[in-house]
Chain A
Amino acid sequence: MKKGFSLITLGMAVTVMAACGGNGEENTNSVNNTNTNDDNHANTEEAALDGELVVYSSRNEMFVQDLLDKFTEETGVEVRALHDADPLQIQEEAGNVQADVFISNDLGALEYLNQQELLEGTDPENVDTIDEQFRAENNEWIAISARARGFIYNKDLISEEEMPTKMEDLLDPEWADVENGYAITRGGNGGMIGNVSALRYEWGDDQTAEWIQAIQENSAGIFEGHGDIRRAVGAGEHAFGLVNNYYYHQQLEEPTDNNVGFIYPDQGDGEMGAIANAAGLGMVAGSPNEENAKAFIEWVLEEENQLAFVGESLEVPINTNLEPPYEEAVPFSELSVQDMPLKELGNYFEDTRTLIEDAGLDLELR
């Protein structure tokens, strides 16, 4: 399976995240060229669409539904969405394909499906606005928005100096003694799966298993999703929590409970850098409404809609030409990001789930 990944991808590792920060000038040139004809194609093709589109999404419903409604409004295609879907549902239904498009917050899941030949390549216009490193070889999946993992903390409970600075720090049981403890999501969460896969890439399986064991034992709260964590930390129920960076942005937007800060871990010299991941989408192989699926992907790639895709979540668009919709977001260019090609996550996807399950974190809630 590993040979599915070209060396080119590995070579690009270093520039992976630089591309979406606005720093990588060499990438943006090609982007600019295709942008010019963006406007005139918008209304021509979609006029002919009708019928429906079935979207499976593993992202939070709140981040996706507005985008889907916008598509319906502009094209008349009725979208039927299944939120909170597990990527393996696509695999399960391979003999009786239901979904047209799969939207995921974990490129590992998308690449895994691609390796299982459950996604189909497309050739949408404007796809060049997304750097090649953020697409599968034949655009079986395309990433639109990026995020990094880190710690949201409550400034009333803990100061920046007291916070852990590395993922590795969580191995230490001392964090169980922090006032009100810290929070993580359960292991079945897509973000957590990506996080663990990245650690396996960095540390190997043994230390990663120890890490899962440690956070399972030492965390004070284990939640279903990240939204719960940001709210709990904001309200002072926990001192800090392991989330994606945009949940911090979201908590800052809350009218109350917003005295929170954020730590991007592993930023020191010689440290691995923040763990990055992205949200994206792909067309399901054998999609029953293939025309609509293609039109949807093309539509999402219009720059206005790339921003709508990032939308509510306050992530950072991967398209470097686009301004991040949230000004307080730290540009990726200023971050030290783990030097792993995101496609690599796909190689770890399945074993990571087993590892998490063996540690008992997949079911744990508290």
Chain B
Amino acid sequence: MLKDKKKTNHHTKQSPGAGDETSPAFLRFMNQKWLSMWNGNPPGTILLIIGILVALIMSIPIVYVIWQSLSAGEESWRRLLGNRIPDLLWNTLSLTAAVTGAAVIIGLSLAWFVIRTDLPGRKLWQWMLALPLVIPPYVGAVTYIIVFGPSGWLTNLWNDTNWLTAIAGDFPFKIYSFFGVFIVLTLFTYPYAFLIAIASLRRLNRNFEEVARSQGMSPIQVFLKVTLPFLRPAIGAGAVLISLYVLSDFGAIAMLRYVTFTAAIYYQRAGFDIPSASVLSLVLIILTILILWLESFTRKKRHFYQTSNTFKEPDIIKLGKWKVAAFLYVSVIFSLAVVLPLVVLIYWTVIGTGLGTIDASFFGYAWNSIKVSGLAAILCMLLAIPIIYLKSRHPSVISRGIDRLSYAGYALPGVIVALGMVFIFNNHIPALYNTFYMIAIAFVVRFLPQAMQSGEASLSLVSPRVDEAARSLGSPAWKTMLTVIFPSILPGILAGGALVFVSSIKELPATLMLRPPGFDTLAVRVYYEASEALYHQAAPAALLIVLVSIIPLHFLLKKY
């Protein structure tokens, strides 16, 4: 349908005379509709086809999972709805709510301290407190098990200290519990809220608070009535990122022996109970959509305006006697979320190196990781270009639709994307099934939007006049794109590629589900060795993943 219209359009454009003779009024009408849909600026056929194809490929796995779940059969549905889904819902939602709440509060309070108060070393803290972002939560979970687990460092120390056990009994903290999962996920996700809150607080105009204070409000009232509502969008955005993360996490949850929807889908799939896996996936997809909808719904209800012409830097609040307490609070969070994991990883890496863990097979795993993540990054960079170009230069219902479809895999857990990929490749593309290309394609489906966002930011800086000028000088669209647009957005595209690379290298569940025989990556090894309690083997790989993950921190800190 689309193609036909497109052809006609092309045809008429090239030879209007012939078009008048051959095309009846109906076609001309369609042609006009088509042009008006694009505001008189339709894209080239090839560009459009590429865009549509990419968007379709991006959404196929999700559509497939939904289709499978709907055809799962009454029996699977009844069994799952009866005893499985209610428990999983409770496990998943209570954890999501608790982690989101705690992580937002921590992120927000830390941001407030480092931006608005005279906390000692506040400039340094601003990026130090963002550091947990480089520690994938499953790696964080491993380090917490090593320290707080039933045979962990601290547990043994406590239980061997007689006077302590005499007073307080055995080590009280159980890491394999709701509380353990809650702590670990909170510590390694709060930076999402922290970074967004920092960006908002920096833009906060002092005038509002001054007005409030002149009305006789106390500092606390000012915070609650003025600052907090102003931060509301930032809180919402942070909360969405965190709750979507908790919904999709597999590694940390599996290692801490907690079961949410994502883990349940993984185990069902690992046991090849495909109908159940897809039914559970559908529920998880609905939860994800609900969270996204909830956020956009609450955001629409309120608008906040900043007056830019009278902007004054917000003043710095003196902490006074609270300075020590605030410093302590910030230090404790930093120690738990950054120092502790790094110390544990470095300790075990040193031991592992002594035991010869970093050998040929370690480099083999690293090379596999680089190979598959690099391929995904290159594909993402290539595929992002036509889509962002379509979106920015040819805005219309269609290009917006393409853009939206490209986000399908981004919001959803890797487990579901992987489930879709297995269906499709095993049934329809057997030649690629069980090759590492399957993992790379899953990464593209999951992370293409990262490359798009970064590229879009660059493209928005290039005026459409530039390519119009090039086109008017007789350069065809594809040539304009290659010679004019591409070089100017290259830095943005490369940054996007780097983000995709890093996200891919630490991705766990899709890699676990899709890896072909004999193809282990660093992430898979961390998961396997840690679950076998072979920490000296897990740590070097985990440390390498952490080091690589510093790359996106650079971009993120620049962005906020």
- A residues contacting B by CB (< 8 A) are 54-56, 60-62, 79-82, 86, 88-89, 91-93, 95-96, 98-99, 186, 188, 221-225, 227-228, 231-232, 235, 237, 257, 353, 357-358, 360, 362-366
Whether B259 lies near A227 (C-beta < 8 A) is: no
Identify the closest chain A residue to B266 (Cβ).
A363
Known contacts A61-B528, A232-B151, A357-B273; can you find 15 more A-B pairs with CB under 8 A?
Answer: A54-B517, A60-B532, A79-B518, A81-B518, A82-B515, A93-B433, A96-B433, A188-B267, A237-B150, A237-B151, A357-B79, A358-B79, A360-B83, A363-B259, A366-B177
Whether A62 lies near B532 (C-beta < 8 A) is: yes
Whether B272 lies near A82 (C-beta < 8 A) is: no
B516 / chain A contacts, CB cutoff of 8 Å: 80, 82, 98
A225 and B177 CA atoms in complex are apart in Å by: 18
B177 / chain A contacts, CB cutoff of 8 Å: 366
B128 / chain A contacts, CB cutoff of 8 Å: none
A235 and B149 CA atoms in complex are apart in Å by: 11
A365 and B430 CA atoms in complex are apart in Å by: 34
A231 and B531 CA atoms in complex are apart in Å by: 12
A363 / chain B contacts, CB cutoff of 8 Å: 84, 259, 263-264, 267-268
Question: A-B pairs with the 3 shortest C-beta distances?
Answer: A80-B518, A88-B272, A82-B517
Whether B430 lies near A95 (C-beta < 8 A) is: yes
Instruction: Name B488-534 residues within 8 Å CB distance of A.
Output: 515-519, 528, 531-533
Whether B84 lies near A360 (C-beta < 8 A) is: yes
Q: Does any Cβ of A come within 8 Å of B94's Cβ?
A: no
B434 / chain A contacts, CB cutoff of 8 Å: 98
Q: Does any Cβ of A come within 8 Å of B270's Cβ?
A: yes
Secondary structure call for the B interface? loop
Count: A-B pairs, CB below 8 Å: 92
Q: Please, what's the 1-or-0 string for B151-186, where 1 marks a CB less than 8 Å from any CB in chain A?
A: 100000000000000000000000011000000000
Q: Does any Cβ of A come within 8 Å of B208's Cβ?
A: no
Identify the closest chain B residue to A234 (Cβ).
B151
Whether A222 lies near B257 (C-beta < 8 A) is: yes
CB A238 to nearest CB in B, in angstroms, measures 9
15 A-B residue pairings within 8 Å (CB atoms): A81-B518, A82-B515, A82-B517, A86-B272, A95-B426, A95-B430, A221-B176, A235-B150, A257-B151, A358-B79, A360-B83, A363-B267, A365-B257, A366-B176, A366-B177
Q: Which residue of the partner chain, among A91, A227, A364, contacts B272 with CB atoms under 8 Å?
A: A91
A188 / chain B contacts, CB cutoff of 8 Å: 267, 270-271
A223 and B176 CA atoms in complex are apart in Å by: 11
Whether B267 lies near A96 (C-beta < 8 A) is: no
A93 / chain B contacts, CB cutoff of 8 Å: 426, 433
Q: Does any Cβ of A come within 8 Å of B362's Cβ?
A: no
Q: Does any Cβ of A come within 8 Å of B258's Cβ?
A: yes
Among B257, B517, B519, chain A packs the most CB atoms within 10 A around the CB of: B517
Q: Which residue of the partner chain, among A54, A55, A221, A353, contacts B271 with CB atoms under 8 Å?
A: A353
**With A86-B271, A228-B533 known to touch, is A96 a contact of B426 (CB < 8 Å)?**
yes
Identify the closest chain A residue to B150 (Cβ).
A237
Q: Please, what's the 1-or-0 string for B295-308, where 1 marks a CB less than 8 Å from any CB in chain A?
A: 00000000000000
B430 / chain A contacts, CB cutoff of 8 Å: 95-96
A55 and B518 CA atoms in complex are apart in Å by: 9
Identify the closest chain A residue to B253 (Cβ).
A365
**With A96-B433, A231-B533, A362-B271 known to touch, is A82 a contact of B518 (CB < 8 Å)?**
yes
A55 / chain B contacts, CB cutoff of 8 Å: 517
Whether A365 lies near B273 (C-beta < 8 A) is: no
Identify the closest chain B residue to A257 (Cβ).
B151
A56 and B515 CA atoms in complex are apart in Å by: 13
B274 / chain A contacts, CB cutoff of 8 Å: 92
Identify the closest chain B residue to A223 (Cβ).
B257
CB A284 to nearest CB in B, in angstroms, measures 12
Identify the closest chain A residue to B267 (Cβ).
A363
Whether A365 lies near B272 (C-beta < 8 A) is: no
CB A55 to nearest CB in B, in angstroms, measures 7
Among A95, A96, A227, A257, chain B packs the most CB atoms within 10 A around the CB of: A96
Whether B426 lies near A364 (C-beta < 8 A) is: no
CB A196 to nearest CB in B, in angstroms, measures 14
CB A110 to nearest CB in B, in angstroms, measures 16
CB A21 to nearest CB in B, in angstroms, measures 31
Identify the closest chain B residue to A82 (Cβ).
B517
A55 and B151 CA atoms in complex are apart in Å by: 35
Q: Which residue of the partner chain, among B151, B259, B271, contacts A88 with CB atoms under 8 Å?
A: B271
A186 / chain B contacts, CB cutoff of 8 Å: 267
Whether A364 lies near B517 (C-beta < 8 A) is: no
CB A356 to nearest CB in B, in angstroms, measures 10
Whether A98 lies near B258 (C-beta < 8 A) is: no
